[in-house]
Structure 1
Amino acid sequence: MHKILIVDDHPLVRRGLCQILQESISLSRLDELSNGVDVLSRLSRQLYDVIILDISLPGKDGLEVLKDLHIQYPEIPVLILSIQSESQYALRALKLGASGCLNKASAPEELVKAVKEVNKGGRYISPKVSHLLLEDYQGDHSQMPHKQLSEREYQVMIMLVEGLTSGEISTKLNLSIKTVSTYRARLLQKMNLKNNSQLIYYAVKHNLISQN
């Protein structure tokens, strides 16, 4: 019997995930949270076999939560779920301690397979993520500018290159517009870039965003 925690801010997504898991896995407990801020406080009262964690969460994004989980609860496998292309987040998530990464567009059977695999102590890595890992291993990217960004700066960068305004990013991340502007200025400085156009060019050149 499995105890699983789903962390996603979209009720319909949580409902769909719950239905898939209830139909395919023996569960003793299935809980939900709508934000990343409450995850650690929940774990202080109840532990789980697997945590399914979305990246884009209000207040505290999934990668920040993942970092905290890896420090405080390294024994709990975390399966990262996102609507973003794996190229945008998979390597960072795995290096922060994720046991697997899965795109929300994946088939239900793949979700079940991933949950079962990480619950056994293994890792779930799709063919696309395996290719990204191989490229990362073969190349020396340690000095690439975007590697110097914090998780929040990286998230703001991705949203900027996807065309979101500061106001839209502010709403999605539950931050003030002033704070978003500060992150933008800081990441541009770290990457030695001057504007969003240069940022978009950099992201496309290094395959940080989907070009579909």
Structure 2
Amino acid sequence: MEKREKAEVLVVDDHSLVLEGICRVVNRMPEAVVADAVTSGIKAAELIAKRDYDIYILDVSIPDLSGFELIARIRELNEQALIIVNTMHEEVWIANRLAQSGVNAVILKASASSELAAAIRSVLQGKSYTCPRFASICRMLARHSAELLPHDLPTRRELEVLQGIAKGLSTREIAAQLSISENTVETFRKRLISKFDARNSVDMVLKAVSRGWLKLE
């Protein structure tokens, strides 16, 4: 296949203003051009099934189809695809999942637009890229994970319960939200208190925040 003069980019973000901002950054670059830009994960899935792009820039929080699902679909079609995640999420469990997803670059939406341009140039050169803030989160994750045995790490479901507790939801409300029983919620609560070596639920939430497992809004 003949090499394109400019790298063709698919941009996916459910916020129109963010989408427009990303497109402006990309189209100002001599190395790249936006081929398609959509606010729907389902529409993005339809596009990637029909054609290849040189670079995929997407968020992980897309209402109609998860960004992680899109990453998986892209990788199924092209293991060498260049994927850049542009997200607002700084939670440790999101960072951990991104670190394991095999994406080529991660930048946070709070970063300067120059970070996006730097990420694009890096992946085109065959290098990975993370913005300084995300790199810091990953270092913190590695440090705190090293302090815990593998069986002590909170599971995804436990983290969902932890989020509910931190928001002040009752056991009944958490159970309804997660479609599990109230007894199961209490079991997860006890496990979390043990894993964080906490005195009670309040102490558990404070320790989860201090270790980066939980971000309070």
Question: CA–CA distance in 2 between the matches of 1:184 and 1:102?
Answer: 37
- Decide whether the 8 Å contact of 1:86 with 1:101 is kept in 2: no
Percent of aligned positions that are identical: 20
Taking structure 2 as the reference length, the TM-score comes to 0.71
Q: Which residue number corresponds to residue 204 of structure 1?
A: 209
**Gap change, CA 1:29 and 1:18, over 3 Å in 2:** closer
Q: Which residue number corresponds to residue 79 of structure 2?
A: 74
- Decide whether the 8 Å contact of 1:86 with 1:129 is kept in 2: no
After superposition, give the CA deviation of every residue in 1:43-76 in whole Å (9 maximum; x if it has no partner): 1212111111101111222223223333432211
1:7 pairs with 9, 12, 20, which one? 12
Equivalent position SS for 2:103? coil
Residue 60, structure 1, aligned to residue 57, structure 2: no
**Gap change, CA 1:103 and 1:135, over 3 Å in 2:** closer
Question: CA–CA distance in 1 between the matches of 2:53 and 2:185?
Answer: 36
- Decide whether the 8 Å contact of 1:160 with 1:196 is kept in 2: no
2:44 pairs with 39, 42, 50, which one? 39
2:126 pairs with 121, 134, 143, which one? 121
**Structure of higher CA gyration radius:** 2
Equivalent position SS for 1:101? strand
Higher relative contact order (CA 8 A, sep 6+): 1
Question: CA–CA distance in 1 between the matches of 2:69 and 2:207?
Answer: 24
1:109 pairs with 114, 118, 125, which one? 114
Equivalent position SS for 2:28? helix
Superposed displacement of residue 202, structure 1: 5.5
**How many pairs are equivalent?**
196
Residue 181, structure 1, aligned to residue 181, structure 2: no
- Decide whether the 8 Å contact of 2:55 with 2:84 is kept in 1: yes
- Decide whether the 8 Å contact of 2:55 with 2:82 is kept in 1: yes
Question: CA–CA distance in 1 between the matches of 2:203 and 2:179?
Answer: 18
Task: After superposing the two structures, state which structure 1 stretch, 42-51 or 190-199, moved more.
Answer: 190-199
Q: Which residue number corresponds to residue 149 of structure 1?
A: 156
- 2:178 maps to a residue whose letter is S
**Gap change, CA 1:17 and 1:189, over 3 Å in 2:** farther
Equivalent position SS for 2:36? strand
